[in-house]
Chains A and B, each alone.
Chain A
Amino acid sequence: MGKLRISTPTLLLLPAMIVLAAVIVLPLLLSLWSSFTPFRLTKPDTLYVFIGFRNYVTAMSDPIFWTAFGRTVFLLTVALNLEMVFGLGLALLVEKATRGQRILRTLMMFPMMFSPILVGFQFKFLFNDNVGLVNNALQSLGLTDQAIPWLIDGNLALFAIIVAEVWSSTSVFAILILAGLMAMPKEPLEAAKVDGCTPWQSFRFVTLPFIMPFAYIAMTIRSLDVARAYDIVKIMTDGGPARRTELLWTLIGRTAYSDAKMGFANSMAYISILLSIFFTFYFFRKLAASRASIAAEW
């Protein structure tokens, strides 16, 4: 009679595994299945009709899908890069401050406390062509005498969304990079100075490698919630005008709930899940690599 023995770590991890299996893994399996069916909410029976890869083929040959896909990747790339650059700059500025550093650090975290939906609302208000702060300021300064249609013109709207996205997430980078700067041992920097490095050289070859793991933690965290952009876009433009700011996620939401094409939407959702997982996995690997290179040097 072999007694069923469960080891302690398994027992401790069991609740987490059960919850994740029930609320994430199982639903994902269901959505994987339904992406191979013509499932519509209005016709429950369609869930049992298998149509193979037809949804995926339709999505892949749909220019609307590819535009949204391309725009999503473009938005993420631009936003993550800008956030990295601004975050690094902000962290360096705050680290150099001799007085009031604690207050500055607290203020720096301010945008992190805003939920994406609030960020979206806030910038919808600021960029409003009629009552917005941006247009009011431009007009008061005499830079333009017309109201600039920030959220009505496609390109300007995408720009406004990127501004909102960067504003809200730069502080994630800044705060983690600042933590890296403060944890950094001072000796290597002094040694570099003694060896005659210029400030730029010691930044490039001493400081930067040390803070890269921290930057990659920020990237990993950000890639875990890249879909935050859904909330921002939803409230700012809802994918409009005429789909000019449509991202994968708004397109999925529209297809699933407005057009009720659940199966088709799920096939697109799977493509967007793979995209997210790719980003996360990529940065996780980068994190491990940069951590290893530091451990080797110090």
Chain B
Amino acid sequence: MASNQAHRLRKRLLSVAHFLGLALAMTIILLPGLWIVISSLRPTVEIMAKPPIWIPQELSLDAYTSMFGKVGQGGIPVWSYFRNSLIISVTSTIIAIIIGMSGGYAFARFSFKGKSGLFLGFMLSRAVPGIALSLPLFIIFARIGIIDTHFGLILAYVALNVPFTIWLIDGFFRQVPKDLAEAAQIDGCTRWQAFWQVEFPLAGPGIASAGIFAFLTSWNEFALASQLTRSVNSKTLPVGLLDYTSEFTIDWRGMCALAVVMIVPALTLTFMVQKHLVSGLTSGAVKG
């Protein structure tokens, strides 16, 4: 009896500890972001107050309206940065996906000499730190005159995204059974038709998530963008955020609002693809 009771007590204690652990972990994960959102809605006096005011007294969207109105808060043209980010990210993603699809398909469906070496080589090209790559790119881009253009940054981001896109798409095509396309070919499809009508739709969601991953990489990239852009012509949001911090008077509320503007598209897109992303990355984990 006694041991039975002790066992039950222990089990309850364990589940309480488990709950507390989870709650603590989730707080640490969520609190910083939440704090940014709250701060973007509070007046600056409240952020600066000493002793601190914990419960917001008044909330307003002033920071957002002033950011997108006129030239922007403190002369920072957020709207142009936003447009640049969007154009560059979308274009480079589309190109990277097309290239990645053809490359990923080759890795998933064909065996050829030097396959694993080439795969590792592709991955290693991704290991080059952005800042190290920015030096020669800066020299070349300056020489051929594509510094501070959308084209230059798009080109750089396509190259940045291709290796990872190939990794993911290779994983997704491998999950599609080979027999399906072969069956379609026996039924009279050409290889091309079999690809578009059988394999592509099945791997479609995975490819979409690879696309979103590529989009996020471009959307978030800073090291290259900070050197290869010079003006409002091509500066992206991450570079804009750094502009903000180097102002003389730090406008915390405005920066928090800009941070929220940057995170919202990323948040929405990641929600859409989280399931596929993990399965794509781990598809080769246990079985090579």
Known: A13-B102, A214-B285, A265-B135. A28 touches B128 (CB 8 A): yes
- Is the CB–CB distance between A34 and B278 below 8 Å? no
Contact of A176 with B282 in the complex, beta carbons under 8 Å: yes
- Residues 150 to 191 of chain A near chain B (Cβ within 8 Å): 167, 171, 175-176, 179-180, 183
Is A242 part of the binding interface, using a Cβ–Cβ cutoff of 8 Å?
no
* Sample of 27 A–B contacts (CB below 8 Å): A8-B106, A15-B102, A15-B103, A20-B162, A28-B136, A93-B21, A94-B22, A96-B18, A107-B26, A109-B270, A110-B29, A111-B29, A114-B266, A115-B220, A115-B222, A118-B259, A118-B263, A131-B47, A133-B32, A176-B278, A179-B278, A210-B286, A221-B281, A227-B129, A235-B242, A276-B127, A276-B128
Within 8 A of A (CB), among B107-126: 107, 110, 112, 118, 120, 122-126
A-side contacts of B52, CB under 8 Å: 136, 139-140
B1 at the A interface (CB under 8 A)? no
Q: 5 shortest A-B CB distances, which residue pairs?
A: A115-B220, A227-B129, A23-B159, A27-B136, A269-B132
Is A239 located at the chain interface by the 8 A CB criterion? no
Within the complex, which residue of A24, A122, A288 is in contact with B159, where a contact is CB–CB below 8 Å? A24
CB of B279 within 8 A of chain A?
Answer: yes
Whether, in the assembled complex, A97 has its beta carbon less than 8 Å from a beta carbon of chain B, the answer is yes
Q: A139-B51, A167-B32 are in contact. Are A118 and B262 (CB under 8 A)?
A: yes
**DSSP majority for the A interface?**
helix
Interface assignment of A253: CB less than 8 Å from any CB of chain B:
yes
In the assembled complex, B36 has its CB within 8 A of some CB on chain A: yes
Q: How far is the CA of A223 from the CA of B162 in the complex (A)?
A: 17
Q: Known contacts A12-B105, A183-B282, A262-B139; is A115 also within 8 Å of B266 by CB? A: yes
| CB–CB A117/B220 < 8 A | yes
* CB-based contact A213/B286 at 8 Å: yes
Residues of A near any B CB (own CB < 8 A): 7-10, 12-13, 15-16, 19-20, 22-28, 30-31, 34, 41, 89-90, 93-94, 96-97, 104-118, 121-126, 130-131, 133, 136, 139-140, 167, 171, 175-176, 179-180, 183, 210, 213-214, 217, 220-221, 223-227, 230-231, 234-235, 249, 252-253, 256-257, 262, 265-266, 269-270, 272-273, 276-277, 279-281, 284, 288, 291, 294-295
Residues in A whose Cβ lies below 8 Å from that of B134: 253
* Cα A130 to Cα B50 with chains together (Å): 9
Within 8 A of A (CB), among B1-54: 18, 21-22, 25-26, 28-33, 35-36, 39, 47-48, 51-52, 54
Asked whether B102 lies within 8 Å of A12 as measured between CB atoms, the reply is yes
Query: Told that A20-B122, A167-B29, A180-B282 touch, could you supply 11 new A-B pairs with CB distance under 8 A?
Result: A9-B106, A13-B103, A15-B102, A107-B29, A115-B216, A179-B285, A230-B222, A231-B223, A256-B135, A266-B135, A281-B120
Interface of B is mostly: helix
The verdict on B202 contacting chain A, using a C-beta distance below 8 Å, is no
Contact with A along B128-146 (1 / 0, CB 8 A): 1111111111111000000
B267 contacts chain A at the CB level, 8 A cutoff:
yes
Query: Which A residue's beta carbon lies closest to that of B22?
Result: A93
Question: Is A125 within 8 A of B123, CB to CB?
Answer: no
Contact of B25 with A90 in the complex, beta carbons under 8 Å = yes
Kindly state the separation between the CA atoms of A290 and B122 in the bound complex, as whole angstroms.
Answer: 22
| Docked complex Cα distance between A289 and B270 (Å) | 31
Interfacial chain A residues near B130, Cβ < 8 Å: 227, 230
Contacting residue for B270 out of A96, A112, A272, CB 8 A: A112
The one of A15, A41, A115, A116 in contact with B99, judged by C-beta atoms closer than 8 angstroms, is A15
**C-alpha gap A136/B110 in the complex (Å):** 59
Complex contact B25–A93 (CB within 8 A): yes
Is B207 among interface residues, defined by CB-CB distance under 8 A? no
B75 close to A (CB within 8 Å): no
Interface residues of B in 254-288 (CB under 8 A from A): 255-256, 259, 262-263, 266-267, 270-271, 274, 278-279, 281-282, 285-288
| Interfacial chain A residues near B241, Cβ < 8 Å | 117-118, 121, 235
The one of A89, A115, A131 that contacts B219, using a Cβ cutoff of 8 Å? A115
Q: In the complex, are the beta carbons of A20 and B256 less than 8 A apart?
A: no
Contact of A295 among B106, B227, B286 (CB under 8 A): B286
Q: How far is the CB of B7 from chain A (nearest CB, A)?
A: 14
In the bound complex, CA of A80 to CA of B88 (Å): 32
Asked if B136 contacts A176 (CB within 8 A), the reply is: no
Q: Which residues of B contact A107 (CB under 8 A)?
A: 26, 29-30
- CB < 8 Å neighbour of A116 from B110, B137, B220: B220
Q: Which of B31, B107, B120, B223 contacts A230 (CB 8 A)?
A: B223
| Smallest Cβ-Cβ distance to A110: which chain B residue | B29
Whether A214 pairs with B22 at a CB distance below 8 angstroms is: no
Please name all residues of chain B whose beta carbon is closer than 8 Å to the beta carbon of A16 when the two chains form the complex. 99-100, 102-103, 122, 162, 166
Are B30's CB and A122's CB within 8 A?
no
In the bound assembly, the distance between CA atoms of A288 and B133 in angstroms comes to 28
A121 to B77, CA, bound (A): 19
- Is B238 in contact with chain A by the CB < 8 A criterion? yes
